[in-house]
């Protein structure tokens, strides 16, 4: 972040607010550029303590995975530990699992969540990167301690709610062997979301989403979407009081 923005932010911390007149001169934090992968990769490779990441979706291009793997090995050689948070569909991604298997287990922890997450990378708890555009083609580098500390807290909350990748994450209701992904899809359907919105929130394609819905219907014996909604309500799968990785008491 540029100095004028930092001065404005520090002034707000002391005053408890920002004067409206100050906002007109407040510059935006600078971006890493049109191709953010290079500076982010360089920063990750120089990590000495810890790399925290949250990754949306269930698939990443092979080239990106190889870059990430190389950076992970470099960071580990420098003594860093790595934690990743993915969305549940990543559990069924062969390319992601293959990449993770090439990282020494004692240096890596991976969890998945049913929540919709946005990309976040935190390096050595001193600098963070977040998307600066909808297509994630540019990134915003954040180094202000207060902002980085806030992002770390957000990450730790996500981490606490996520499920270890090594944990068998399947049953959510008696007599209903519904996977974690299907549980999340069922909850979103129950909230009234249409297929394309469900797919976007889950980070999967509409085709894959509908395939999960079809298997969910088959598992519960539903003959239509309306019937599925009724069965979901009866089964308790969409109940927010039921943990997605523990059977109800």
Residue in 55, 67, 79, 75 with CA at minimum distance from that of residue 165 = 55
Average pLDDT over all residues of the chain = 77
- Return the minimum-mean-pLDDT range out of 17-21, 58-62, 153-157, 160-164: 17-21
Percentage of the residues of the chain whose pLDDT score is greater than 90: 22
The span from the CA of 99 to the CA of 121, in Å, is: 18
Architecture of domain 168-249: Orthogonal Bundle (1.10)
Beta partners for 141? 129
| pLDDT at residue 172 in the model | 43
Whole-number Cα distances in Å, 21 to 9, 25, 28, 161: 14, 8, 16, 41
Q: List, for residues 71-114, the tens digit of each pLDDT value.
A: 899 999 999 999 999 988 888 888 888 999 999 989 999 998 87
The span from the CA of 172 to the CA of 53, in Å, is: 27
0.75 cut: is pTM over it? Answer: no
DSSP reduced 3-state for 84: strand
Q: Is the predicted pLDDT of residue 51 greater than 80, yes or no?
A: yes
Q: Is the predicted pLDDT of residue 30 greater than 80, yes or no?
A: no
Give ranges for CATH 1.10.10.10 in the chain.
168-249
Q: List, for residues 187-207, the tens digit of each pLDDT value.
A: 888 888 899 888 888 878 888
Domain 31-164 annotated CATH 3.30.870.10: yes
Tokens 């949250």 belong to: 54
- Return the minimum-mean-pLDDT range out of 115-124, 217-226, 227-236: 227-236
Give ranges for CATH 3.30.870.10 in the chain.
31-164
């Amino acid at each position: 972040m540029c100095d004028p923005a930092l001065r404005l932010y520090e002034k707000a911390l002391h005053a408890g607010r920002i004067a409206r007149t100050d906002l007109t001169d407040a510059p935006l934090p600078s971006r890493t550029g049109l191709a953010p992968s290079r500076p982010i990769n360089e920063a990750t490779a120089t990590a000495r303590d810890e790399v925290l990441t949250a990754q949306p979706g269930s698939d990443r291009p092979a080239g990106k995975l190889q870059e990430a793997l190389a950076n992970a090995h470099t960071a580990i050689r420098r003594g860093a530990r790595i934690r990743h948070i993915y969305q549940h569909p990543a559990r069924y991604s062969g390319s992601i699992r293959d990449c993770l298997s090439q990282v020494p287990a004692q240096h890596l922890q991976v969890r998945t969540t049913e929540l919709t997450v946005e990309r976040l990378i935190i390096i050595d708890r001193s600098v963070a990167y977040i998307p600066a555009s909808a297509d994630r083609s540019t990134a915003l580098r954040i180094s202000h301690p207060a902002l980085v500390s806030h992002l770390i807290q957000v990450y730790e909350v996500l981490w606490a709610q996520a499920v270890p990748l090594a944990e068998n994450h399947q049953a959510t209701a008696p007599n209903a062997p519904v996977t974690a992904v299907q549980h999340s899809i069922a909850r979103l359907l129950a909230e009234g979301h249409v297929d394309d919105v469900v797919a976007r929130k889950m980070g999967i394609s509409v085709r894959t989403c509908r395939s999960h819905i079809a298997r969910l219907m088959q598992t519960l014996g539903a003959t239509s979407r309306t019937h599925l909604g009724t069965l979901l309500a009866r089964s308790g799968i969409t109940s927010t009081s039921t943990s997605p990785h523990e059977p109800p008491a």
